[in-house]
Amino acid sequence: MDQLYGYMLYLIALLTMGGIYAVLTLGLNVQWGFGGLFNAGIAGFFGIGAYTSALLTTAPSVRHLGGFEMPYVVGFGAAMLLSGIIAYGIGKVCLKLRSDYLAIATIGIAEIFRLILKNETWATNGPRGVTQIPKPFEGLPEPWNHFAFLGLVLAIVAVLYLMLEVVRKSPWGRVMTAIRENETAVKAAGKNVETFRMEGFVIGCMIMALAGALMAHYLKFVDPNATEPLLATFLVWVMLIIGGSANNKGAIVGAFLIWGVWSATEILTGQLPTELAVRTAYVRIFLIGLALQIFLQKFPQGFFPEVRPKIKNSQSL
């Protein structure tokens, strides 16, 4: 019975993390799937969200800035707002350039953000990170607190999904797709391409920050490792490509699927002796990378290919 209970808790943890990744993947889908914007600095916006919400909602501490004991909603809102403002500043500089440059610039920003987290100890407690972050529903008895948090995450995923489906089918979403496919034609149609790109970039970064805030509250802890590009940027890209970019359903399924594979293989390698387990961790990364390559070459559309919305009235574009 105890074992069954353990499995159930594990499943809840798996779904919660999968859900947080789904939020991230949906954010990337707005940028890459809808608008063809290559953001290689997901980890940076994720980290901005995690730290902002953490510092606003924790109890006062001498180790780091803040400790304002604000409600979660304020934490989440501020995380999204700050990330949006920073994204706007970056977009102003980089969105005019070809996507390769955007990729390089966003990687750079994420790395600079890591440097700030590590160096500005007065604000972030440096490499030791922020601890004792409050977690929604933690007052509830076991295991209901876990269920409730999972419910919150899944509800956010569901709401985001419904909203982004509306966005995708809206004239705005169709213009974004058109920009991705043929920028010149959209310009000729009299649309301001830069504004649309900026909107997509900012919205995507705000969603990523929300995922970061959720992660900080879920783990009750955040340190600069949370912005490790491997887990916070690369894995999200793999999820979206394999799930199917430009498809919101694909983004969600890809997130749960890849997170499931990632975690399941961790259980397997966890059975091995320590020295070997450490080494096989790298095999997992290698295989995830290989899966990405296979999908890029053989199934570039992912599991759920893009479905174009039907245009009811052609005047809207």
Q: What b-and-e string marks burial along 253-291, b requiring 16 or more CB atoms within 10 Å of the CB?
A: bbbbbbbebbeebeeebeeeeeeeeeebeeeeeeebeee
Q: Helix, strand, coil proportions of the chain in percent (round to 5)?
A: 75, 0, 25
Closest Cα to residue 242, out of 21, 41, 47?
21
111 binds other proteins (CB under 8 A): yes
Q: Which residue has the tokens 């694909």?
A: 250
Range 246-285, binding other proteins (CB under 8 A): 279, 282-283, 285
On whether the CB atoms of residues 246 and 177 are closer than 8 A, the answer is yes
Range 114-153, binding other proteins (CB under 8 A): 115, 118-119
Instruction: Select the span of 186-194, 210-218, 256-264, 289-297 touching other proteins (CB under 8 A).
Output: 289-297
290 binds other proteins (CB under 8 A): yes
Query: Looking at this protein, which amino acid is placed at residue 126?
Result: G
230 binds other proteins (CB under 8 A): yes
On whether the CB atoms of residues 256 and 18 are closer than 8 A, the answer is yes
CA distance 115 to 258: 29
Tell me which H or E stretch contains 123.
helix 121-124
Quote the least distance from Cβ 57 to other proteins, whole Å: 28
Task: Spell out, one character per residue from 188 to 227, where the chain touches other proteins: x when CB under 8 A holds, - when not.
Answer: ----------------------------------------
65 binds other proteins (CB under 8 A): no
111 versus 165: smaller Cβ distance to other proteins = 111
Quote the least distance from Cβ 100 to other proteins, whole Å: 4
Quote the least distance from Cβ 219 to other proteins, whole Å: 23
User: Residues 3, 184, 274, 297: which binds other proteins (CB under 8 A)?
Assistant: 297
On whether the CB atoms of residues 212 and 48 are closer than 8 A, the answer is yes
Q: Which residues bind other proteins (CB under 8 A)?
A: 36, 38, 40, 93-94, 97-101, 103-105, 107-109, 111-112, 115, 118-119, 230, 234, 237-238, 241, 279, 282-283, 285-286, 288-290, 292-293, 296-297, 300
